[in-house]
Amino acid sequence: MDNAAFRHHFAAFAAKADRSIASRFRDAFEGIEIALEAGVTRAQARDELARLGLDIKQNTFNVLLMRVRKERAEKKDGPSAATGLTATAVQENAPSQDQSSKKPVLQRGEMVKRGEVVQLPEDWLTAELTPAQSRSLSAEQKQQRRKARDRLFHPTPYDKLNAE
């Protein structure tokens, strides 16, 4: 069999197989978009899909339309598509992990990327922390910090005895 025969066979197989509503909607998406751009209402497009065998509710039609449009926009506007770089070139141009771990303590207003290491000041138990630094604390560290700040701002007579 040649490639065209394979494509035709699997296209026919996919049409017969039990597939999700979303996948069948994606198959018809380009035709739906052409009809909508020509002035057909969404309700009319949904009715036509029902006539062709894909009977879905209007709200489902609207949600699927939004999702598929978003997927197509993301594919079109991906980082490699915008710059013309391949995936390996994007990885080569990205900063390495070693560079991100050497970054100094964040100042207020700076954004932290997910997975980036945040350095804490030496007096982290009582110091004013940025939101990113606060989020990076473990549950145990948060508990230690809460106790230390309570002792600092609300000392008890027993704390004075322990200090001597």
**pLDDT tens, position by position, 115-136:** 667 788 888 888 888 888 888 8
- Considering the domain architecture, whether residues 116 and 53 belong to the same structural domain is answered as no
* Residue where a domain stops, chosen among 17, 48, 83: 83
- Considering the domain architecture, whether residues 106 and 149 belong to the same structural domain is answered as yes
- Considering the domain architecture, whether residues 61 and 103 belong to the same structural domain is answered as no
Query: Residue 90 domain-assigned?
Result: no
- Considering the domain architecture, whether residues 9 and 68 belong to the same structural domain is answered as yes
Rg (CA), the chain: 29
Query: Residue 92 domain-assigned?
Result: no
Query: Residue 88 domain-assigned?
Result: no
Tens-digit pLDDT profile for residues 62-117: 999 999 999 998 888 876 544 554 544 445 545 444 444 444 554 544 555 556 67
- Considering the domain architecture, whether residues 63 and 112 belong to the same structural domain is answered as no
- Considering the domain architecture, whether residues 35 and 106 belong to the same structural domain is answered as no
Q: How far apart are CA 112 and CA 106, in angstroms?
A: 8
Q: How many domains does the chain have?
A: 2
Could you tell me the residue range of the domain that residue 47 belongs to?
A: 3-83
- Considering the domain architecture, whether residues 76 and 103 belong to the same structural domain is answered as no
Tens-digit pLDDT profile for residues 31-71: 999 999 999 999 999 999 889 888 899 999 999 999 999 99
Query: Residue 138 domain-assigned?
Result: yes
Residues 80 and 107 sit within 8 Å (Cβ to Cβ): no
User: What is the signed CA dihedral for 115, 117, 123, 127, rounded to 10 degrees?
Assistant: -50
Between vectors from CA 63 to CA 58 and to CA 66, what angle results, nearest 5°?
125
Model confidence, pTM = 0.42
- Considering the domain architecture, whether residues 55 and 11 belong to the same structural domain is answered as yes
- Considering the domain architecture, whether residues 103 and 155 belong to the same structural domain is answered as yes
- Considering the domain architecture, whether residues 76 and 101 belong to the same structural domain is answered as no
* Residue where a domain stops, chosen among 19, 51, 83: 83
